[in-house]
Amino acid sequence: MREIDLAYRTLYAELCQRSLDGAFEADFPIAGRFVTVPVNGRAYWYFDLPGPDGVKRRYVGPKHDAQVTDCVERFQTIKGDLKARRKLVSTLVREAGLPAPERFSGDVVRALSEAGLFRLRGVLVGTVAFQCYPGILGVRLPNAALQTGDADFAQFHSVSAAVDDSLPPMLDVLRSVDATFRDLPHQADGRRSTKFRNAKGYEVEFLTPNRGSADHDGKPAGMPALGGAAAHPLRFLDFLIHEPVRAVLLYGGGVNVVVPAPERFAVHKLIVASRRRDDPLGRLKRDKDALQAAVLGQALAMTRRARDLATAYAEAWGRGPAWRQALREGLTFVPTKARTGLVAGIVDGLMEIGEDPKEFGFDASGKPRL
């Protein structure tokens, strides 16, 4: 694991902005105009496009998101530069050694991005999201932590209900990539689908946080913005997708995406590792969770972001006994050598932010009390 050159980190940041510009140009024709709409005391950007049936209004994003507002203000001057962005992607993959998704995952994420999923505040989660962190942090990560065979996306139900906009029919979007995609009826409610699968077994799943009653566990939630798809509710997911960050998937001309903050991803992986089933598939996923938590935590420490990691860890620790037990158990699944680096990053970060590591499950020597 080592940092990439500053020049490549600068190129990645430039590609992020230019990919967002490109997404804006595709989503919002010049004939329309941007307007601000107050919702619950906060301002949001919407786009009004006149047509034969009147003005159609589409959700854009929160006005306090500086990148979105910058694109709105520069909208009239944004020009298509797909060819140039493809060269940037090629440079970052071939020369900087940053990871690119395998082709099918890239096509799936691009189709959903172009359909408007990230504009509607969806979040890419799972290993495809993890593939964005080397670019965000400017660190090469082990290839073993980057492999995947599916794509997962999440959205808060409150957001899905509030944006007053929707993707096209989800099955149509996915079949534009592969005509063999079909929706899988949810086990708890066959009228709804949270997961889609193609003939080769590639799966796309939609998730949403469960912060309410245990009665909602395992029951699909209707998501008005997801083009007819429902979402499977999960505990702890609200922690993961709170305050996500913009990134670019290094595919084609760069796919503009939204992913969890890397420090939250690392801590969340410790939690979910503790909740995997103890069968061969569960153990395999658990090992991958632990590996991703370890390498991402070490990368955060290497890039002088240990305080971010520690802040996320402290927040999770403070959410109650179930969270603390999950964190403790998650650390036990991290291989000893990797755990040493991860724990050192958390402990150093806790001390940086003025916290006593002993209050967060570590002994006087900085080792976790497992």
pLDDT of 10: 95
Q: What is the DSSP letter of 169?
A: P
pLDDT of 144: 61
* pLDDT value at 146 more than 70: no
Q: What is the DSSP letter of 214?
A: G
pLDDT category at 212 given cuts 50, 70, 90 is: low
Q: pLDDT tens, 190-209?
A: 889 999 999 999 999 999 99
* pLDDT value at 79 more than 70: no
More confident call, 327 vs 40: 327
pLDDT category at 145 given cuts 50, 70, 90 is: low
pLDDT category at 103 given cuts 50, 70, 90 is: very high
pLDDT category at 49 given cuts 50, 70, 90 is: confident
Q: pLDDT tens, 264-307?
A: 999 999 999 998 888 788 888 899 999 999 999 999 999 999 99
pLDDT of 309: 97
Its pTM stands at 0.87
Domain ranges for the chain: 2-95, 98-260, 262-369
Mean of pLDDT over the chain = 90
Averaged pLDDT for residues 176-192: 92
